Amino acid sequence: MKKTFYRTLALVPLAVSLALLAGCGPKTAQPGPNVEQTTAVQLDVNQQANTIFERVFMEQVGQDPVLQTRLGIKDDYDKWQDLSDAAYDAELALTRTHLNLLSNISVEQLDANTQLSYQLMQQDLQHRLDDSKWRLYNYPVNQMYGIHSLVPSLLINQHKVEDLTDAKAYIGRLNNVPLLFNQLQQQLTARAEKNIIIPEFVFEHVITASQNVISGAPFNPGEDSTLLADFKKKLQALKLSELEQKLLVDEASVALLTSVGPAYKSLISYLQNLKPQATRDDGVWRFANGEAFYQNRLARITTTDLTAEQIHQLGLDQVAGIHQQMRDIMQQVKFSGTLAEFFLFMREDPQFYYPDTEQGRADYLAEATRVIDDMKGRLDQLFRVKPQADMIVKAVEPFREKSAGKAFYQRPSMDGSRPGVYYANLYQMQDMPTYQLEALAYHEGIPGHHMQLAIAQELEDMPKFRRFGGYTAYIEGWGLYSEVLPKDIGLYQDPYSDFGRLAMELWRACRLVVDTGVHAKEWSREQAIQYLVDNTPNSATDATKAIERYIVMPGQATAYTIGMIKILELREKAKTALGEHYDIRDFHDVVLRNGAVPLDVLEQLVDEYIAAAKGE
pLDDT number for residue 23: 31
Report pTM: 0.86
Could you tell me if 265 and 259 are in contact, meaning their C-beta atoms sit under 8 angstroms apart?
Answer: no
Q: Rounded to an integer, what distance in angstroms lies between the CA atom of residue 186 and that of residue 274?
A: 12
pLDDT number for residue 405: 75
Could you tell me if 562 and 304 are in contact, meaning their C-beta atoms sit under 8 angstroms apart?
Answer: yes
Omega before 218 cis (within 30°)?
yes
Q: Is 382 helix (H, G, I), strand (E, B) or coil?
A: coil
Packing angle between helix 495-520 and helix 525-535, nearest 10 degrees?
160
Could you tell me if 556 and 589 are in contact, meaning their C-beta atoms sit under 8 angstroms apart?
Answer: no
Q: Rounded to an integer, what distance in angstroms lies between the CA atom of residue 96 and that of residue 89?
A: 11
Find residue 391's DSSP bridge partners.
420
pLDDT number for residue 28: 34
Distances (CA, A) of 357 to 362, 401, 475: 9, 15, 33
pLDDT, mean of each 10-residue run, the chain (616 residues): 30 29 33 49 82 95 95 95 98 97 93 95 97 98 94 95 97 98 98 97 95 97 96 94 96 98 98 96 97 98 98 98 97 96 94 96 97 95 94 89 83 84 94 94 96 93 90 96 96 95 97 98 97 93 92 97 98 97 96 96 97 88
CB-CB neighbours of 480 under 10 Å: 27
Strand order in the sheet with 420-424: 391-395, 420-424, 407-410
Q: Is 359 helix (H, G, I), strand (E, B) or coil?
A: helix
CB-CB neighbours of 353 under 10 Å: 19
Q: Rounded to an integer, what distance in angstroms lies between the CA atom of residue 111 and that of residue 116?
A: 9
Q: Rounded to an integer, what distance in angstroms lies between the CA atom of residue 471 and that of residue 465?
A: 12
Q: Is 240 helix (H, G, I), strand (E, B) or coil?
A: coil
Contacts of 200 (CB under 8 A, 6+ apart): 275, 278, 279, 280
Q: Rounded to an integer, what distance in angstroms lies between the CA atom of residue 608 and that of residue 125?
A: 26
CB-CB neighbours of 360 under 10 Å: 15
User: Rg for the chain (alpha carbons), in Å?
Assistant: 25
pLDDT number for residue 309: 98
Could you tell me if 533 and 540 are in contact, meaning their C-beta atoms sit under 8 angstroms apart?
Answer: yes
Q: Rounded to an integer, what distance in angstroms lies between the CA atom of residue 78 and that of residue 539?
A: 42
| Among 442, 405, 428, 444, CA closest to 539 | 428
Burial class (CB within 10 angstroms; exposed 0-12, middle 13-18, buried 19+) of 107: middle
